[in-house]
Each structure stands twice: as structure tokens, then as C-alpha cells.
Amino acid sequence: MQQIRRLVIVNPIAGGGSGARLWPAVQSRLHELGLSFDSVMTEYAGHAVALARDAVKSGYQMVIGVGGDGTLHEIANGVLATQAQGTPDVIVGVVPVGTGGDFVRSLGIPRPWPQACTRLQGDTTRLIDVGDMHYTGQGGAEHRYFVNVAGLGFDGEVAMRTNKAPKRFGGTIPYLTNLVLTLVSYGNKDVELFVDDERRAGRMNSVIVANGAWFGGGMFIAPQACPDDGLLDVLTIGDIGKLDLLQTMPRVYRGTHLTHPKVCLFRTQQVRVESRQDMWIQADGESLGRAPVAFSIRPQAIRLKV
């Protein structure tokens, strides 16, 4: 029986350095499970995109990320870039050791890395949707896929601040710390949304576009989101005050925030967002650019080992 060619891409700085610290143990566990693989460590932001793209072109049938949502984000973009060129279907696996590990919750993949390694031994896979986004980057119009959640406004600025901060801690500490710091200076934006030929306008704190249910290190932001239903769950947080936002935050972890009068949810296949002020974007925790941005869903775009 022919061996599957696997490449493991390790993000050494994921989870405040957990990627580097845990890799020897993860490597030993994969060997114990009888899995054959090659491995490589990322060296800079965006490196996993190139590594995954080259892996598929070199004939690897499975690409496994050891890291967090950002690592999976980059691998998915690398794999999808090759699929657009007509290359064979490739399986993506994940061993979560990153800051949030939010997307694996939606997939039912165990967050403890030893159990996640064991899942790689099985045959179960799941075709999932991805979000497709066209936005304004530093060099002009840019394109990116995301697997979990994208956000604009307050959420985008929290991610920007978190990504710039020293990577000394994992878990929810960096996100919550920078959330509070961002709150001090943040101002809500004048936003226009275009959904199914309908225009929605108003002053908003954030626009969240979700494929998965969790983000931000455990926030149950889109309780109804399912990564293979062919729809994006779009949440708008209206002109909410800073104290109200802080008081509402615990509800986000329980998924009860949808009843707040300034929170709206709709489900769609595409949405465009424009803003009069700079409105920064994050996707899977990675800071990208700013509005205007057009989102759409790409159904069953990538196969994940679950």
C-alpha cells in the first residue's frame, strides 16, 4: 500500500513560542503513531503560504500545520492557490498549539495536541467552506481566503494591536489585554453594507463575517455558524458605547450576545462593506488591510482531517 506523503509545517512562535517548545514532543508522538512525514519550520509571516503551495506542487498529499488559527489560515491559502491551478485534492491537518485554536472547536478536533495527533492517524475528513475576500491592502487591491472568522472595525484594530505586541503569552491573555487597550482610543465608524442588492447603513463598532463559531480565544461569536453550510454568518455591532461593550463582552463567551439590541445577525453568500473612515480588517487573527472589502463563500473548498 502506497504511503501518503505528508509535510508538517511548524510555526515556532505560535502560542507565545509553544510551537517551538512542543515540536519535539509532537514529532515523537507522530512517530509513535506510525506516521511518516517531512517537516519544516516557518521563518517569517506568510511563509506557510509558500511552503504549503510548494508542498502541493511537489506531490505531498497531506499538509499538517502545527500552530494556531493563523498557521491554518496560511496553509489553507497556499493549498487553495494550487487548487485554482487544477492540482489534486489535498488533505489539510492541524495540531493546535497556538494562541486561540478557535476553529478546531467548530470542527470537533481536540484542542490538546496529543489527541489531535491521534486524529491524524484516522481516515475521517470533512470538506469545509472558506471565506473569499477582496480588500484594500498596502499595495492596493488584494485577495485572501479565510477559514474561520474575519472582522472589521474594533475587532480588526484589536487584532492589529495583538499582532504587533510581543509574543510572550499564549491563550486569551494577549487578545483581552489588547481589546481593553484598543477600547480606550477607538471610535465607531460610518458603515455601508450591501447584501443581496440591499443597502444597510449606520454607525457601527464592528462587522464580523464568520464561517466558524468561535474566535478571539474562546468567544462564541457566531453560535449558528457551520463551516460546511454554504453560508457566511454576518454580525454587525452597532453604535455601542464603550461601557456597554465591556459589559456585553462576557455574553460573547456564552453566545448570548445576539439578543443585544445593537447586535444584528444575517446569513448570506456574499456581502460588501464600505466605510467613510479607515476600517481595518483581520482574518483568522491576521491583520490584512482595510475596507472596502467584498466577502463571498466558496463552498466545500478544502478537505480537513478531523
Could you read off the pLDDT of 122-175 as tens digits, one per residue? 899 999 999 999 999 888 899 999 999 999 999 999 888 877 766 555 556 677
* 237 against 100, higher pLDDT: 237
Per-residue pLDDT of 23-49, as tens digits, reads 999 999 999 999 999 999 999 999 999
Q: How confident is the model at residue 277 (pLDDT cuts 50, 70, 90)?
A: very high
Contact 69/95 with Cβ under 8 angstroms? no
Residue pair 106/214 in contact (Cβ under 8 Å)? The answer is yes
Helix pair angle (173-185, 154-164), 10° resolution: 120
Strand partners, 264: 236
Contact 102, 148 (CB under 8 A): yes
- Cis bond upstream, residue 227 (ω within 30): no
Confidence at residue 171, expressed as pLDDT on a 0 to 100 scale = 55
Band (182; pLDDT cuts 50, 70, 90): confident
User: CB 256: neighbour CB atoms within 10 A?
Assistant: 13
Rounded to whole angstroms, how far apart are CA atoms 40 and 27?
Answer: 11
Neighbouring-strand partners of residue 195: 198
Mean predicted lDDT score pLDDT of the chain: 92
Q: Provide the pLDDT for residue 160.
A: 85
Q: Among 12-16, 53-57, 275-279, which is the least confidently predicted range? A: 12-16
Select the more confidently predicted residue: 165 or 93: 93
- What is the identity of the amino acid at 62? M
pLDDT of residue 181: 85
Above 80 in pLDDT, residue 88?
A: no
* Dist. CA 110–CA 96, nearest whole Å: 8
Q: Which three cell numbers stand for residue 238?
A: 452597532
DSSP letter for 4, please.
Answer: P
Q: Which residue has the higher pLDDT, 183 or 282?
A: 282
Grid coordinates of 252: 460573547
Q: Which three-class secondary structure state does DSSP give residue 90?
A: coil
Residue 183 has pLDDT above 70, yes or no: yes
pLDDT at 168: 58
Q: What confidence score (pLDDT) does residue 1 get?
A: 44
Calpha distance 42→163 (Å, rounded)? 16
**Going by CATH, does the domain composed of 131-299 fall within 2.60.200.40?**
yes
> Which architecture, in CATH terms, is 6-123?
3-Layer(aba) Sandwich (3.40)
Rg (CA), the chain: 19
Q: Is the pLDDT of residue 252 over 90?
A: yes
User: CA-CA distances (angstroms) from residue 126 to 105, 122, 226, 247?
Assistant: 14, 12, 12, 37
Cα(248)–Cα(27) distance, integer angstroms: 41
* Domain edges within the chain: 6-123, 131-299
Q: Give me the DSSP letters along 246-287.
A: HHHHHHHHHT-GGGSTTEEEEEESEEEEEESS--EEEETTEE
Q: What is the pLDDT of residue 138?
A: 84
Residue 56's CB: how many other CB atoms inside 10 A? 22
Looking up cell 447603513, which residue turns up? 201
**What confidence category does residue 197 fall into, taking pLDDT thresholds of 50, 70 and 90?**
confident
Region 57-74 average pLDDT: 96
